[in-house]
């Protein structure tokens, strides 16, 4: 099962302002999340009480 990842308009603009090497690193990480969304530094969110 693959996942779809979308960035908000604000995130897209911020991403485009980054240096190309950082964009590449982030793109590779996002692409990896499409196939393995729970791999890496992922924690379950908890509601505030």
Tell me the average pLDDT of the chain. 86
pLDDT band at 36 (very low <50, low <70, confident <90, very high): confident
Between residues 24 and 43, the one the model is more confident about: 24
DSSP strand E in 1-49: where? none
**Distance (Å, rounded) from C-alpha 45 to C-alpha 7?**
20
Query: What is the structure's pLDDT at 25?
Result: 94
CA dihedral sign, ordered 16, 19, 21, 25:
negative
Distant-in-sequence, close-in-space partners of 40: CB < 8 Å, separation ≥ 6: 32, 33
pLDDT digits (tens, 9 = 90+) for 5-28: 888 999 999 999 999 999 999 999
Query: What is the structure's pLDDT at 38?
Result: 78
């Amino acid at each position: 099962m693959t996942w779809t990842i979308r960035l908000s308009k604000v995130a897209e603009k911020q991403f485009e302002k980054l240096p190309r090497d950082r964009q590449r690193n982030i793109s590779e990480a996002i692409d990896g999340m499409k196939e393995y969304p729970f791999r890496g530094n992922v924690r379950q969110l908890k509601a505030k009480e």
